[in-house]
A and B are shown apart, each in its own frame.
Chain A
Amino acid sequence: MFECRDLVRRFGPTRALDGVSIAFEEGRIHGLIGANGSGKSTLLRIIVGAEVADTGTMSKDGAGWAPRSTADAARAGVSMVHQEVRLGPTSTVVDVMNLGRWPTTRFGFIDRAGATARTREALRRVGLTLDPDLTVGILPLAVRQRIAIARALDAPVLTGASRLLVLDEPTSSLGAREVADLFGLLRKLAEEGACVVFVGHALSEIEALCRTVAVLRDGRVAWRGEVSSGGRSVWVDAMLGRATTARATRVTQDFGNERRVAVEGIGSDTVPAKSLDVAAGECVGIAGLLGAGRTEWLRLVAGVDRSRTGSVAIDGRSVPCADVASALRAGVAYLPEDRRRDGLCIGLTVRDNLLLAVRSAEGWWRGRLAVEETLEALVRRAALPDGCLDRPVETLSGGNQQKVLLLRLLLANPKLLLLDEPHRGVDIGAADAIDGLIHARRETGLSVIRVDPDLEALCRVCDRIAVMVEGVFVDPSVPAEAEAVRRRLSGDVA
């Protein structure tokens, strides 16, 4: 039995975990779900010893549990299987399996023969027969994942300790067959007495695999119980939270069959092809649970990742989706979800960051552009700090950085704006300002496709919602009401 009681973990003023109590029994598979930022990863990291809780206690096998490191935790039988084995490209299977715990001969040298034999045995336990001297990098993902599980199970454990295996989103890049194989393995491990914690997004998988489920939201356990006592709609409610306050009702516009932007069958090898129409001035929200494939699809539409099938047309004219610059010239702009990694050039000035997209569209050899004269006014209208144009963008707050990123796109005069979590890491005031900037452009005909994990926020700004479940639009046109969207998300359509 593994238990944690009242775990609290703060990062600055925010509480990643706000009093989490949870228990995992041996011989069962436990599901753990929650939206982005719900505190899932923090909880997992504390359980496997990668992080320490500020307050709260944990116990395992009846004794206190306070691992000092992941190695410490592994010795006591607790280990985490990441999405895939992350090791150098040249490591062999034997290297991976024995890293940090090579058997030695009596002279103190590494016992390669012994290690190889042990590796074969460990691989056999997870149903793998392969040459241990193969390079890990050339193996398919599903096999690498299995190796990671084998490594976790092969860790030498103190006598009497039970095993706790944590799998972090193990199915996110597996095919249906591989998922079925993985589930078979996990069930076998649970039957043998291991305690398995399965972190996933696809509710159908949780339903099929797990015995108990815990739902985290805002650092608290929002729901927990046996699978049979819950159900998809219950979990979706728990994950997203019921609307508690009544916001001012907003007039959504019905654009009928009018369409300006036609996205036709955009897809790739891993993303199912999907179509979506958007009218001029319309904002279509894409709702889906984490891992539904929203970001991946937006990136294909924007031309950031190469699309294999489909086309985008604006005003009947085809948009080249092969590279970003030409998509941008044709009027498609994309706001990435991770603004530090994919958005801003953090050391450059606000001015250079603002001009990045326009210059890509207009060419870098052009002299001073006409829009440069308007920057001062633009910055003032967006309520960015005075005189920030020539300051490094990193000196701005997160909300203001996001405004810079959005303004960069608006400067390029897009016809279709693809927004991936524009409120991420942004305070409420800036979030409203960002929505205001977007709304002003919609009045002049800008079409918007928007992804946001916050269903209430999405319904507030969108005219209709397209519901995406496990990679497909189950309903491309749901009215922008949280209740209706939730019903579609849980597959509970009247």
Chain B
Amino acid sequence: MTPARRAWSALALLVVVDLVMIPDFHRIAWVGGAWRGLPIDILEHGARLCLVAIGAALVVATGGVDLGIGTVMALSGALAARLSAEGHGFPVVASAAIGIGVAVGLVNAAMVVVGRMPPIVATLVPMVAGRGVAHLVAGGAILAVDAPWAVRLGSGTWLGMPIAVWVATGVIAVVALLLRRTAVGAGLAAVGSNPAACRIAGVPSGRLITLAYATSGTFAAIAGLLAAADVRSADAHNLGQFVELDAVVAVVIGGTAISGGVFSLGGALAGALFLQTLTVTLHAAGVRSDVAPLPKALLVLVAAVVSHPQFRIRRTRSAS
């Protein structure tokens, strides 16, 4: 079984447990022109994590890591809130927010490619500095976001499904299609697998790595917009906090090698949905939100170990 399929199995198993344990889990109702219910909630709130996990998967494929995801979300949310408050329309707000994501991605790539910094160090810079900038942008306050676009993006529906789900699905579909129809995905994996061999084979490693970080930044910015719209406010301090870690966990559960070279977008998607379902499950099981991280961490550990490609090898070795 491929690691990605194992991640989907883990997700399926969790859903089965939920169906048994949570009485209302299976109940999806058509209320006021839209579907409502716990699974829909998981999709709606998980859309952001799915987005950033896909971006993170591309970065991890090249052998890197993007720790700046959470702060890019905060930056994008704060910028959107401020521009919105200043009376700008959605096109300006969205392009500025996404622009900041691309910019941070390019800075990360410059540090990694040109500066030859280890990615975990390079992306610490936006991780730490980004929140400070977000505070500056927000003027030190929690800005309300109540423009019409935010209402529509945060609680609107289309064909009965939340807009956030459509946005994430659309964006991810475009990326998946591009990777499938071109050789870029193979290039990213090759760079992560053996940088020296890629140099000798003439692979434009720098450009591919830049693409990965820029995509990750873009997706984080879109996730930031969705998050701000969801709660109708932009809190520079809390928005997107620790999301980069969730993203890495989702990617690893999905069978992408943390050392690079092998990656699976589908797996990362399954990993992200697994995490989101777990959060909802624990909440429904009455676990207090301040202690929830502990059981969550334990389950994530199990999922990560089981879905990791090397687990199978170790097991067969110890058995022989």
Seen from chain A, the residues whose Cβ lies within 8 Å of a Cβ on chain B are: 302, 304, 323-325, 327-328, 334, 336, 341-348, 352, 355-357, 359-361, 364-368, 408
Contacts and interface: CB of A to CB of B under 8 A. Distances in A.
B19 interface: no
Contacts of A361: 202
B194 A346 contact: yes
A275 to B, nearest CB: 23
Contacts of A348: 186, 189-190, 193, 261
Interface in B184-207: 184, 186-187, 189-190, 193-194, 196-204
B202 A324 contact: yes
Given A341-B196, A366-B183, A356 B201 contact: yes
A323 B193 contact: no
A263 B199 CA distance: 22
21 contacts: A302-B200, A304-B199, A304-B200, A324-B200, A341-B196, A341-B197, A345-B189, A345-B193, A345-B261, A346-B193, A346-B194, A347-B257, A348-B186, A348-B190, A355-B186, A359-B186, A359-B187, A364-B182, A364-B203, A365-B183, A368-B181
B188 to A, nearest CB: 9
Contacts of B181: 367-368
Contact of A360 (B189, B201, B262): B201
Given A347-B261, A356-B190, A324 B184 contact: no
B300 interface: no
B190 to A, nearest CB: 5
Residue of A344, A345, A348, A367 contacting most chain B CB atoms (<10 Å): A345
Nearest 10 A/B pairs, CB to CB: A324-B202, A325-B202, A360-B202, A345-B193, A345-B194, A364-B187, A356-B201, A359-B183, A328-B202, A352-B186
A408 B200 CA distance: 12
B194 A323 contact: no
Contacts of A328: 202
B182 A342 contact: no
Given A328-B202, A341-B197, 20 more contacts: A302-B200, A304-B199, A304-B200, A323-B202, A324-B199, A324-B201, A341-B196, A344-B194, A345-B194, A355-B186, A356-B190, A356-B198, A357-B202, A359-B183, A360-B201, A361-B202, A365-B182, A365-B183, A366-B182, A408-B201
Interface of B, helix, strand, loop or mixed by DSSP = helix
B208 interface: yes
Interface in B162-185: 181-184
A126 B203 CA distance: 46
Residue of B189, B190, B203 contacting most chain A CB atoms (<10 Å): B190
A355 B193 CA distance: 15
Contacts of B183: 355, 359, 364-366
Contacts of B208: 364
Contacts of B262: 347
Contacts, number: 82
A119 B181 CA distance: 63
Contacts of A336: 197, 200
Nearest to A323: B202
Nearest to A325: B202
A368 B182 CA distance: 7
Contacts of A325: 202-204
Nearest to B257: A347
Nearest to B193: A345
Contacts of A302: 200
Contacts of B261: 345, 347-348
A477 to B, nearest CB: 29
Nearest to A408: B201
A449 to B, nearest CB: 16
A347 B200 CA distance: 17
A366 B262 CA distance: 21
A356 B203 contact: yes
A202 B286 CA distance: 77
B271 to A, nearest CB: 20
Contacts of A352: 186, 189-190
A478 B257 CA distance: 51
Nearest to A393: B193
A13 to B, nearest CB: 22
B202 to A, nearest CB: 4
A343 B200 contact: yes
B197 A343 contact: yes
A323 B203 CA distance: 10
Contact of B200 (A342, A346, A364): A342
Given A356-B190, A359-B183, A344 B197 contact: yes
A419 B183 CA distance: 27
B202 A327 contact: yes
A348 B185 CA distance: 12
B201 A364 contact: no
A360 B204 contact: yes
A214 to B, nearest CB: 35
Residue of A302, A341, A356 contacting most chain B CB atoms (<10 Å): A356
A484 B252 CA distance: 59
Contacts of B197: 336, 341-345, 356
A75 B202 CA distance: 48
Contacts of A343: 197, 200
A347 B184 contact: no
A420 to B, nearest CB: 10
B209 to A, nearest CB: 12
A476 B45 CA distance: 71
A490 B40 CA distance: 80
A345 B190 contact: yes
Nearest to B195: A345
Given A304-B199, A341-B196, A357-B201, A364 B184 contact: yes
A315 to B, nearest CB: 21
A229 B179 CA distance: 67
Nearest to B189: A348
